[in-house]
Chains A and B, each alone.
Chain A
Amino acid sequence: MPMHGPARGASDMVPFAACFPFEDIRIMALEHADVLRAAHLARLGLSEDDAAHYLDDLGRILEMVDQLQALDTEGVAPLAHPLDATQRLRADEVTETDQRDRFQRCAPAVEQGLYLVPRVVE
């Protein structure tokens, strides 16, 4: 992997964009279709124009993110939890009472305890 950045422990590392000399590292350029695909996966309504607008922002964010590629992480275990803790299990006991009416009070549309949505099956 090419090292474009300052070496580990270099004393001249500085915080701003100007000091990120990694700009030529692009693992994959973002395309218009990628934005539409992400919007679809996220169920986020986006017009073609919106997508064009986000393409520029997201492209620059990913360009910044691509600086990670300059770092050799071979053999480093991913860290998912800052204390390296694993998910705790609890006894398989009922602890919640039925509060349906209370929780449905903030729903946009309910009827007889059911959430109303547009017809799904014709």
Chain B
Amino acid sequence: MHDKTLTELAACLAAGEFTSRELTESLLARIDRLDGEINSLITVTPDAAREAADRADAARAKGEAGPLTGLPLAIKDLFCTDGVLTTAGSRMLANFVAPYDASVVERLKAAGTVSLGKTNLDEFAMGSSNENSHFGPVKNPWDLAAVPGGSSGGSAAAVAAGLVPAAMGTDTGGSIRQPAAFCGITGLKPTYGRVSRWGIIAYASSLDQAGPMARTAEDCALLLNAIAGHDLRDSTSVARGVPDYTEELAAPLSGLKIGLPREYFGDGLDPEVESAVREAVKVYESLGATVREVSLPHTHYAIPAYYVIAPAEASANLSRYDGVRFGHRCEAPTDLIDLYERSRAEGFGEEVKRRILIGTHTLSEGFFDAYYKKAQQVRRLIRQDFLDAFEEVDVLMGPASPTPAFDLGARKDPVSMYLQDIYTIAVNLAGIPGISVPAGFAGGRPAEGRPVGLQILGTHFAEARLLNVAHRFQQATDWHLRRPAFAEENA
């Protein structure tokens, strides 16, 4: 059961081959046996999972099953879950039991899914390797010496290891797409505002977006159907109809116009990653697509602009952790300032402190125009690059990351870690959707190497098109069917 897709599992449940309870027990046993090695889950919720599975089986018996009824998944520990520990990967929230469900969690429950637990992540979603978690790093199931990517590293690793068929992630600068690429799975970052942020612990509010991570584009479509849509509780959620994302999956690609941004194929790109991506593009040509080079001239300003905007928003968002209302509180504070300063110094890890300090500095008196306003102006230019490109082509394609997964502990310098996200960050600044799909391997160690992700970008609200383009690739190739030896040996 552990290597099936959501779509396959739904068919098995419908045919009565096994029940949701049996499926749940089987995956819980697998988590119990294997997760000690990869550390992909911070909290496992077996009791709640069994109850949800039984409810799903009862609903099915009454003929009330929907497309996701009884299907197991895991949720990044950044989504508030009622009555369940919600840590954001931080010591600050190591004792925080959320008093409510995030909108996404509410919708997934209403759809009948069975959550098995909460996945590990970089603290407050700040990181690209999952090494910034208070609960320890996650290992990549393809190579236990490698990082799974971040910040949704636990979600990606759990799916790759066959512990769950799907997981929810969030993406502020690449945090769904890059770990999906590193772990050989499919991950979709929807358009900003497509999925409600209500109840997701905030990092950078003008960039954060939740999305599905699964084995196939088809499964991502199923999940997006459940989570997309307007939510009055998130004032940035968009009031716009939600199509059935599964409907156009099989549409033919003849005439599809693909743009390859020349800035995404320059120096710094691993040659094996480049050749995997170029091979993938050839597959599209064989499916009837036409390919041309385009330019996104402000690409190289995306990381500098992001490291003004995201820390600025983070410093404001994280000011709520005061040691008074919830979260970590220091011992024996002498006065209120001491309470704030020590609770925050003890509760936050290194990278979070760095970003709070950067954000506070750039927003402070005398620096605002030179940093924040400038970055917001550059943000408009970056978005315009994409809008101009989408006048000429339907989708953009390139690598999700310049390299395959790097070794644990290999990137100690924060700036070199930030530069990893060169191909994903501009997408969040522009608010457009992007998907990463498995497209080969690079590095040749161990035998097969480490997975490579093809990133496909579309204009605002083009999720159905992206899922269609990704699905057709997965019908023509088998990269998404490859499983790491770790998952196979432990079947």
Contacts and interface: CB of A to CB of B under 8 A. Distances in A.
A122 B402 CA distance: 59
Given A30-B361, A38-B360, A106-B99, A82 B303 contact: no
A44 B357 contact: yes
A51 to B, nearest CB: 9
Interface in B359-375: 360-362, 364, 367, 370-371, 373-375
Contact of B381 (A13, A76, A102): A76
Interface string B261-290: 011001111000000000000000000000
Contacts of A2: none
A106 B326 contact: yes
Contact of B377 (A20, A66, A77, A81): A77
A43 B337 contact: yes
Interface string A58-99: 101110111111010100111111110101101000000001
B431 A83 contact: yes
B472 interface: no
Q: Interface residues of B: mostly helix, strand, loop or mixed?
A: helix
5 contacts: A37-B364, A38-B358, A46-B345, A82-B206, A82-B429
Contacts of B96: 106
Interface of A: 5, 8-20, 27-28, 30, 34-35, 37-39, 41-46, 54, 57-58, 60-62, 64-69, 71, 73, 76-83, 85, 87-88, 90, 99, 102-103, 105-109, 115, 117-120
A71 B370 contact: no
A81 B236 contact: yes
Given A15-B267, A79-B377, A82-B431, A8 B297 contact: yes
Given A71-B381, A105-B99, A107-B326, A44 B431 contact: no
Q: From B267, B304, B307, B322, name the one whose CB has the most chain A CB atoms within 10 angstroms.
A: B304
B107 interface: no
Contacts of B383: 79, 82
B30 interface: no
Nearest to B321: A43
B5 interface: no
Nearest to B95: A106
**CB-CB nearest 10 A-B residue pairs:** A82-B431, A14-B266, A78-B376, A45-B345, A45-B341, A14-B267, A16-B268, A108-B329, A73-B377, A79-B380
Interface in B82-106: 95-99
Contacts of B335: 118-120
Nearest to A119: B335
A68 B374 contact: yes
Contact of A44 (B307, B324, B345, B371): B345
Contacts of A12: 266
A87 B193 CA distance: 12
B352 to A, nearest CB: 10
Nearest to A9: B297
Interface in B151-207: 191-193, 206-207
A7 to B, nearest CB: 9
B356 A17 contact: no
Given A42-B315, A44-B344, A68 B375 contact: yes
A121 to B, nearest CB: 10
B378 A71 contact: yes
B99 A108 contact: no
A115 B356 CA distance: 25
Q: From B335, B344, B361, B370, name the one whose CB has the most chain A CB atoms within 10 angstroms.
A: B361
B295 A11 contact: yes
Given A43-B344, A78-B377, A108-B324, A117 B266 contact: no
A61 B419 contact: no
B260 to A, nearest CB: 12
Contacts of B418: 61, 64
